[in-house]
Amino acid sequence: MEIRPATDSDRDAVWNIFHEVVAAGDTYALDPNISREDALAYWFGPRTHTYVAEQSAIGIAGTYILRPNQSGGGSHVANAGFMVAASARGEGLGRAMAEHCLSEARQLGFRAIQFNYVISTNIAAIRLWQDLGFKIVGTLPDAFRHPEKGYVDVYVMYRSLVP
């Protein structure tokens, strides 16, 4: 597997994964009916580093973004988002991208990474982030309306990158 910066020719593959993940509506607070144009404008936005994970057998199976979470006095903290194709889950792709992300964030000079919106029902993601040193630093009560479970809590997770 190779993880590398996304290029324009990856846009179709990224959109396929993005659309699948967001249409499910249970892990991202995005409009499940978001258009391809808006989705790609978001995922390839200004100040956003976009990566893809490519497997020799099946092609692009995951994508992630890394960007400053805020501007001005908050720009030393990164934000990241990860998406894995349903067909490629449970094979360590998320972990590989997360480790790549930690390394990239350090190289870009970020001092911390913050996830603003980790839905509490997304157990696999939470376990992975905790395993990689992220801590739950905030709990937003009933902040997400889950398509099956109704209102559920959302976590803010944070990991320092400096000693």
Residues 89-128 that bind a second copy (CB under 8 A): 111-112, 114, 116-117, 119
Residue listed under structure tokens 């404008």 = 41
Q: What whole-number distance in Å separates Cα of residue 149 and Cα of residue 136?
A: 21
Lookup: tokens for 32: 């499940």
List Cβ neighbours of 59 (8 Å cut-off, separation of 6 or more): 13
Q: Site map for a second copy, 46-75, x if CB under 8 A? A: ------------------------xxxxxx
- The β-bridge partners of 115 are 157
Residues β-bridged to residue 43: none
CB of 60 to a second copy, least distance (A): 24
Question: Of 12-31, which residues contact a second copy (CB under 8 A)?
Answer: 22, 25-26, 28-31
Helix (H, G, I), strand (E, B) or coil at 37: helix
In whole angstroms, the minimum distance from the beta carbon of 8 to a second copy comes to: 25
Residues that bind a second copy (CB under 8 A): 22, 25-26, 28-32, 34, 70-77, 111-112, 114, 116-117, 119, 137-147, 154, 156, 158, 160
